Amino acid sequence: MAMSDPLGDLLTRIRNGQRASKTSIVCPHSMLKTNVLNVLKDEGFIRGYSKREVRKGVTEIVVELKYHEGAPVIREISRISTPGRRVYSAIGDLTRERGGLGIKILSTGKGVLSDSAARAANVGGEVLCRVF
């Protein structure tokens, strides 16, 4: 059966993995997930990720979760724009997440960017999720 919200599935796997104190999680591969994981890695929310081929034509992503003094680095991760309700934001309307401590991840014309990178590039787009 096809998955209706692959990005929501990735965020839920990360959330559940950190609640269970896992060192890593595994999820199916897609380019959107890879781009979102690049932003999370650049912003310091995860250690990293790697791709592995399960069998010909089927690839998985292994995400290494990050902890600080035993507590998960990601305290809250949630989907904003869903397949049933898309949320778009102009760059001027984009608010800072938790006083600048958190980030929002946007899908823009220039790729998947964090809110600070989108401000620097002066582009708005679809608000995919927020991370704190």
Residue 3 has pLDDT above 90, yes or no: no
**What is the rounded end-to-end Cα distance, in angstroms, of the chain?**
32
User: Are residues 132 and 98 in contact, defined by beta-carbon separation less than 8 angstroms?
Assistant: yes
Alpha carbon distance 48, 41 (integer Å): 6
Over residues 28-72, the pLDDT tens digits come to 999 999 999 999 999 999 999 999 999 999 999 999 999 999 999
Relative to beta strand 58-65, strand 103-108 is: unpaired
- 46-55: strand order across its sheet: 24-28, 58-65, 46-55
Over residues 75-123, the pLDDT tens digits come to 999 999 999 999 999 998 988 877 778 999 999 999 999 999 999 999 9
User: Are residues 43 and 114 in contact, defined by beta-carbon separation less than 8 angstroms?
Assistant: yes
Q: What is the pTM of this model?
A: 0.93
Give the confidence band of 18 by pLDDT, cuts at 50, 70, 90.
very high
| 37 bridge partner residues | none
Strand boundaries in the chain, DSSP class E: 24-28, 46-55, 58-65, 67-68, 71-72, 77-79, 88-89, 103-108, 111-114, 125-131
Alpha carbon distance 70, 25 (integer Å): 17
